[in-house]
Structure 1
Amino acid sequence: MFRFASWFLFAALGIAGLADGALAQQGARRLASLTAGAVTSAPIGWVQFCGENPADCAERSPVARTVTLTSAAFAQLARVNLQVNREIEQVTDMDHFGVEEYWTYPVGGKGDCEDLVLEKKRRLIALGVPREAMLITVVRDLKGDGHAILTVVTDRGDYILDNFTNEVKLWHETGYRFIKRQSPTDPNQWVSLNGGAAGPQLVANPRR
C-alpha cells in the first residue's frame, strides 16, 4: 500500500511538472510575440516613401505569414542584417538630404535607420522571405529616441533586425519600447503594439 501511494504521488508530481513546463512554454511563446492593438497612423516618412515608390507599398495579402525559423533561416537573417549594417554608412537625413525626415533606400551608400530597414527588407524579399512576415516597426530606443527596426515574424517569436547591433534578437531582448508597426496584410495600415501610444510622427533623430 505504501509503495502504491508513493508511486501515485510520484506520478502526480510528474504530471504536475509536465503541466507547469507546458504552461511555461506557452508563456514564453506569448512573450516572444508582440501583441497588435488598434489601427494607428502611419509615420509621415512611410507616406512620403510610398508616394515615391508606389509599387513597394501596393502589395497586400489576405493572410499573415510567418517564417519557419530553421538554423538556415536564422543565419540568413543574421547575414543580411550584418551585411547592410556594414555596407551602409549611417548618417542622418539632415546631413544626407538637408531635411529632418526622408525615407528611401540607401543613396550613395549612405542612410539612416529607416533606410537600412528598407534595404534589409528588400534584400530578404529577393531571397524569398515573405514580405508579410517582415514588418517595419517604430520604437523608442534605450535613450527614449524614435527609432525604426525590422521585425521578422517567425514560428518561434518576433525577431528584430537593427542597425544598432549585428545580433538578431527577440523583440523583448532589445530593451526598446515598441510603439507601432505595419499590419502583416497591408503595409499601409499600421497598428499599435502592446498598448503603446501612437508614437512619434518623426522617427529619426540627430544621432542618425
Structure 2
Amino acid sequence: MLNSIKKNTIYILFGLLSSGFTLAETKAAEPVRMAAATPMLVEGASKAPIGWVDFCKANAADCASTPAKAARVRLTPARYAELDRVNRMVNIAVEPVTDQELYGVEEKWTYPTGGKGDCEDYVLEKRRQLMAAGWPRQALLITVVRDLKGDGHAILTVATDKGDYALDNQADEIKPWFDTGYTFIKRQSQIDPNQWVLLGDGINPVGVATAP
C-alpha cells in the first residue's frame, strides 16, 4: 500500500488525511508530550540561506509578508495530533532524492510537487500544509541544523506554549527540539520569515531567547 501511496501526489495524500485517513492513529492519540519551558537560544542576526533566497525569487507570493508579532500556538491534544499526521504523511508522500539527482545542482529549495525532494522540500511542504490548516506563519520556522552525522540538514520548528517541536523527514515522531541531538545553527525569525537568526546548540540548551 505504501508503494502505491508514494506514487500519488502530496495533495491526494492530504485529501485522504482530511477525510479521516491516518497512518498511525495510536501515535496521534498519545497525550501531548511536554517540552521544557526554555525556548531555543537566539544569539543574533544571521543571513538567510541562499536556498531560501532563490526559493523566494521563484515563489514571491509565498515569501511576501508583513512583519508580525511572534506567536506560540496553544498545543492541545488535537493540535499535537495534527502536527503528527502532517509530519508522517509528508514523510511518506515524498521520496528522498538529492537536488543533484533531481535538478543537477547542489542546492535548490522547492516544493516536492513530483513526489521527490530533499530535506528542505519536506519542510516547505509541511509548512505550506500547516499554514493552509490555519497555523500562524510566525510559529512555523524553517531551521538549519547539523544532524547526527554532522551533515547540514533542515527541519521545521513549531513554536508552541509547550516548547519548540521539530518536524523532521528523518524521524516520524515529533520531538522537542533539544531531544533531536542536532546542533542548531539558524532559523527564520518569528517576526519576519525573510530575516534569519543564529541559534544556540540544541544538544545543551541554555538561556532564554532574547529575540524572536
> Contact 1:60 / 1:187 at 8 angstroms: preserved in 2?
no
1:44-76: CA deviation from partner (whole Å, max 9, x where unpaired): 100000000111111133300111000000000
* Aligned-pair CA distance for 1:116: 0.5
Point out 4+ residue stretches in structure 1 off by more than 2 angstroms: none
Name which of 109, 113, 116 aligns with 1:103.
Answer: 109
Q: Corresponding residue for 1:44?
A: 50
Alignment of 1:59-98 (within 5 A): 59-98=65-104
Paired with 1:195 and 1:109, the residues of 2 have a C-alpha distance of 32
Which of these residues, 126, 129, 133, is aligned with residue 135 of structure 2?
129
- Aligned partner (choices 155, 162, 172) of residue 168 of structure 2: 162
- Partners of 2:48 and 2:166 in 1: how far apart? 20
SS at match of 1:64: coil
Matched-pair contact (CA < 8 Å) for 1:159–1:171: yes
List runs of 5+ in structure 1 lacking aligned partners.
Answer: 1-26, 197-208
Q: Give the C-alpha shift of residue 185 in structure 1.
A: 1.0
Which of the numbers 35, 48, 51 marks the counterpart of 2:41? 35
**Match in the other structure for 1:171:** 177
- Determine which structure has the larger helix proportion and give its number: 1
Cα-Cα RMSD: 1.4
Matched residue SS, 1:29 = coil
Equivalence for 1:194: 200
CA deviations over 1:117-174 (Å, ceiling 9, x no partner): 0000000001101111000000000010000000000001000000001000000000
Q: Could you tell me which residue of structure 1 aligns to residue 64 of structure 2?
A: 58
Deviation at 1:190, TM superposition (A): 0.3
How far residue 28 of structure 1 moved from its aligned partner, in angstroms, is 3.6
Of structures 1 and 2, the larger Rg is shown by 1
Q: Secondary structure at the match of 1:152?
A: strand
Contact 1:61 1:132 in 2 (8 A): no
The one-letter amino acid of 1:193's match is L
Aligned partner of 1:8 in structure 2 is none
1:149 equivalent in structure 2:
155
Aligned pairs for 1:6-45 within 5 A: 28-30=36-38, 33-45=39-51
On the 8 A contact 1:179/1:192 being kept in 2, the answer is yes
Would you say the 8 A contact 2:41–2:200 is kept in 1? yes
User: What residue in structure 1 maps to residue 118 of structure 2?
Assistant: 112
Normalised TM-score (structure 2): 0.77
1:195 to partner: Cα distance: 6.6
What TM-score results when the alignment is normalised by the length of structure 1? 0.78
Give how far 1:114 is off. 0.1
